[in-house]
Structure formats: structure tokens, C-alpha cells
Amino acid sequence: MRQPIEPPSTIAAVPAAGTHDVCSTHLLADLKEPATIFMAKQAPHAFVSLGAPKLRSTNIWGRVSVSVLPLETRHQRRFGAVRLRAALDLPMTLGQWVLQQERQHPETADLAPLITATATAGKQIASLVARAGVSNLTGLQGSVNVQGEEQKKLDVLTNEVLKNALRSTGKLGVLASEEENEPVSLMEEAYTGDFIAAFDPLDGSSNLDAAIATGTIFGVMRSGEHCLTGPEDADISQRQMQCLVQTLQPGANLVAAGYILYSSSVIFMLSIGHGVQGFSLDPAIGEFVLTHPDVRVPERGKIYSFNEANSDNWDPVLQEYIRSMKKKGYSSRYIGSLVGDVHRTLIYGGVFGYPGDKKNPNGKLRLLYECAPMAYLMEQAGGIATTGKQRILDIVPRDVHQREPFICGSPRDVEDLLKIYQGSMAMRG
Ligand code: AHM
Ligand code: MG
């Protein structure tokens, strides 16, 4: 739709054709179609009105695409005008993206309530984390979880937030959490119980009191028939046992996984099996908006990320690998917060690992709700996730809180490690 704009309603100066970021306290909010504007050829800027008459007084950053179009009339040509097309590109919200996915991949449509509920819980958790110091939510709860770890106040609170959000979808049959001793059956209250979710509501919470990045990690799998009904004559505990067994699925069965990073910005990275999309929480509108479409981990990076304090206890292969990275000029970065470390690896490339060692042969990270969702995202972004000997997504869990060595990142960087492992196995015959 063409819409000539008069200079008095201008709100942003855009230098000629191209895509430009603009900021305005008077963004005309209702531009739905590209607008056409005319300007004098010699003018240094096109003054673009981002919409029609109604001014809305919000402070919004926008992105304007401007392209030069052919002139239409002899009059315009005679006066040396330039005709431009200006369109305001507002990023897609998570809600709009979910609707788009329902059309493009109908088989994923029933995931929509779970994604929306997770995003809502993420916003609530982001707010709790940001205000933890002010609201006296730092420090310990005074309880110990089944893994013998002291729970932080926010571990307990964020577990409730995420649990309630997912429960309210009516879609969840069972949930497993780092902060729950056993999987929790929601069958009695679910309408369908089609899905199983496993999550760590606030990973890296030991960093909280120092205001360092933390994150929520989650994975979603489909329930099997048995979990939905159970034998007619089964009592509750038998059915719960069946649901528990259903929870112990390999990461290859995930239908959705993601994390929410609480850091200098709040970022929701998500995959429903068609690549990885990243959404940033826009505090101006309180919505996640698509800022990282189709994330691909770089083929190779320049960073390795391990807790090197454990290196004396690593196997010789890993020690040799890290030595080779130092020789190649790689940098070391390690936050000690899985979501932050994996997010940096996804964006910049390189390798992150929490390997097994002499003291802890299976490392520290939990398969079901830490390694598997991260491995799913990494593979969906073109990366690799392995124990060093086995693909993470192929491991069938025996226990809800089982730990596994975890190494992931850029395909070329992880392949280098796998080659050394294969070489050392061949030498041993
Ligand atoms: P948590 O789930 O109890 O928060 O522990 C997991 C965290 C991860 O975020 C991080 O990768 C790892 O522990 C760091 O461990 P370490 O301090 O041994 O390096
Ligand atoms: Mg954790």
C-alpha cells in the first residue's frame, strides 16, 4: 500500500536506502504496511514517518528498511525527487512465532501451551532473579535436595513457579526436576497428559549471590500410552511407577528443549526440532522477541571452557586436547554456570565441557535435565554433544538424577577431541 508522508509528521532521519536502526520517543505505532515517501534528490536524509497520524509516546527502538523505487510521474522526475519505500520491521514476538510454527509444522501445534507457559515462567523467574538482593531472596533455604546439595531459596521458589506454569497447561503427565526427589505425576489433574517435562528451574544458583548469570533448562518428551492410563486395575503407585519409567527416555526422544538465560539480558533459546531460535525479553513491552533466528554454532571457535582446576584428575586424552588448544592460541572462558557457558559456546563457537575425572567419573551435570536438552539444542544448531565416547542423545537414563560427562560445541573443535579419543582406543587395541 502506498502512503505518501508529509514532512511535519516525520520522526526519524534515515540515511538513504538500506536497513537502519532508529530510536524515537514518538514512534508512530500503527504502520502496518510499507509507506512510500518522496524526498529531494540532494537531501542527505530521508525523513521517514513510521506510520500514520496517531503518535504514541513510547520509547522504542525500531528497524526501518528503506529501498529506492522508480519515480512515477514526470513531475517527480522533473523536480529530481527520489521515491523511497520505508517499512518498519518490528521483531516477531514469541507468541507470533508459535502461531507461525503451528501453520508451518502442524505436528508441533500441541507444544504451543507448553512453550507459552515456559516463557511466562521464565519472565517470572527473571524478575525474581533480578530482584533477589532487594527482596531478600539470596542465600540458602535450609534444605538439602536428593543429590545432597543445599538448596537456595530461589531453587525452591523457581521450581514452584515453573511447575505451576507447566501444570496449568493441562498437557503434562509427569515432570522431573533437579529440585524434586522423584518425578511428580500430574495425571490426576491433566486433561491429556501427553507430555513429560524435565527441568532444572535455576541452574547455576550458587552464582546468584554474586549476581552472576543463571538459567532455566528444560526438555519435553511425549508420554507413551502406558503413562496415560495404566492397567485398569493398577493402583496409584503402580501407575506412578509406569510414569517414572516413561521419564527415563533418551534425549533423542525430545520434541522440544531450551533454556532461558538470566544475564545482562534475558534470552530464551528454543528448539522444537526445526533448528534453534533465540528470543530476547524486550523490557519495553514485556515480551520475548525473535533476535537470534536460525542459530548455527560456528564450525570452529577460539574458546575452550572447562573447570581447569580439575585437570590433574582428567584422563590423558583430555589433558592433551587442552594443551593442543593452548598451542593453537585458544582463549579460556569459564563462568561455572552451564546456561551462560553453553550460550557463549553457541554464539561464539568453541568447546564447553564438564568431563568425568578420577574423583567423579561421570562428571557433575545431570543427563535428563541438563546434558540432554543442551545436547538437543547443540545438535539442532549444527554442533556436537558427546561424553567423549558416546553421543549424549543416545544415552538411555537409568535414573532421573543420573550424571554424565558432557562435552559440546563447534563440530570441528569437538571432532578434534573425538579423533584423539579414537586414536587412543586404537592404540590400546
Ligand atoms: P547446579 O545445578 O547445582 O547449579 O550445578 C550445576 C552447575 C553448572 O551450571 C555448571 O556448569 C557447573 O555446576 C559448575 O560446576 P563447578 O563449580 O564444579 O565448575
Ligand atoms: Mg543444575
425: exposed, middle or buried (C-beta count within 10 Å: 0-12, 13-18, 19+)? exposed
Counting from 1 in the atom list of ligand 1, the atom nearest the Cα of 203 is 4
| Residue 78 and residue 138 in one domain | no
Using a 6 Å cutoff on CB, does residue 204 contact ligand 1? yes
| Residue 84 and residue 148 in one domain | no
Nearest protein Cα to ligand 1, atom 7: 204
In a domain, 254, yes or no: yes
Residue of 127, 128, 129 whose CA lies nearest to 208? 129
Strand partners of residue 65? 19, 87
Of the residues 271, 292, 313, the one at which a domain ends? 292
> DSSP characters for 43-86?
-S-EEE--SSS-B----EEEEEEEEEE---SHHHHHTTEEEEEE
In a domain, 341, yes or no: yes
Task: Please name the amino acid found at residue 168.
Answer: S
In a domain, 320, yes or no: yes
Q: Which SS3 state, helix, strand or coil, does residue 121 take?
A: helix
In a domain, 3, yes or no: no
Q: What CATH number has the domain bearing residue 114?
A: 3.30.540.10
Residue of 107, 95, 90, 84 whose CA lies nearest to 10? 84
| Residue 168 and residue 182 in one domain | yes
Using a 6 Å cutoff on CB, does residue 200 contact ligand 1? yes
Kindly list the protein residues that place their beta carbon closer than 5 angstroms to ligand 2, a single-atom ion.
Answer: 200, 203
Of the residues 41, 63, 89, the one at which a domain ends? 89
CA of 354 to the centre of ligand 1 (A): 9
Substitution candidate for ligand 1 out of 365, 367, 371 with most atoms within 8 A of CB: 365
CA of 261 to the centre of ligand 2 (A): 13
| Residue 139 and residue 270 in one domain | yes
Identify whether the C-beta of residue 380 lies closer than 8 Å to the C-beta of residue 374. no
| Residue 131 and residue 158 in one domain | yes
In a domain, 298, yes or no: no
CA of 155 to the centre of ligand 2 (A): 10
Q: What CATH number has the domain bearing residue 371?
A: 3.40.190.80
Residue of 269, 355, 267, 276 whose CA lies nearest to 311? 355
Alpha-carbon gap, residue 184 to 176, rounded angstroms: 6
| Residue 178 and residue 202 in one domain | yes
In a domain, 4, yes or no: no
Residue 330 is placed in which grid cell? 585458544
Nearest protein Cα to ligand 1, atom 16: 336
Counting from 1 in the atom list of ligand 1, the atom nearest the Cα of 339 is 9
Domain enclosing residue 330, as ranges: 303-428
Total domains in the fold of the chain: 3
CA of 29 to the centre of ligand 1 (A): 44
Using a 6 Å cutoff on CB, does residue 336 contact ligand 1? yes
Nearest protein Cα to ligand 1, atom 5: 204
The C-alpha angle 347, 349, 350, rounded to 5 degrees, equals 145
pTM of the model: 0.82
In tens digits, what is the pLDDT along the chain, a chain of 429 residues?
334 333 333 334 444 455 555 544 333 333 344 444 444 444 434 444 443 333 333 334 455 555 555 666 666 555 555 555 555 556 789 999 999 999 999 999 999 999 999 999 999 999 999 999 888 888 777 777 777 777 788 999 999 999 999 999 999 888 999 988 888 877 667 777 889 999 999 999 999 989 999 999 999 999 875 454 444 555 556 666 766 778 899 999 999 999 999 999 999 999 999 999 999 999 878 999 999 999 999 999 999 999 999 999 999 999 999 999 999 999 999 999 999 999 999 999 999 999 999 999 999 999 999 999 999 999 999 999 999 999 999 999 999 999 999 999 999 999 999 999 988 877 776
CA of 203 to the centre of ligand 1 (A): 7
Residue of 234, 228, 255, 245 whose CA lies nearest to 183? 245
Using a 6 Å cutoff on CB, does residue 337 contact ligand 1? yes
Counting from 1 in the atom list of ligand 1, the atom nearest the Cα of 207 is 4
| Residue 228 and residue 327 in one domain | no
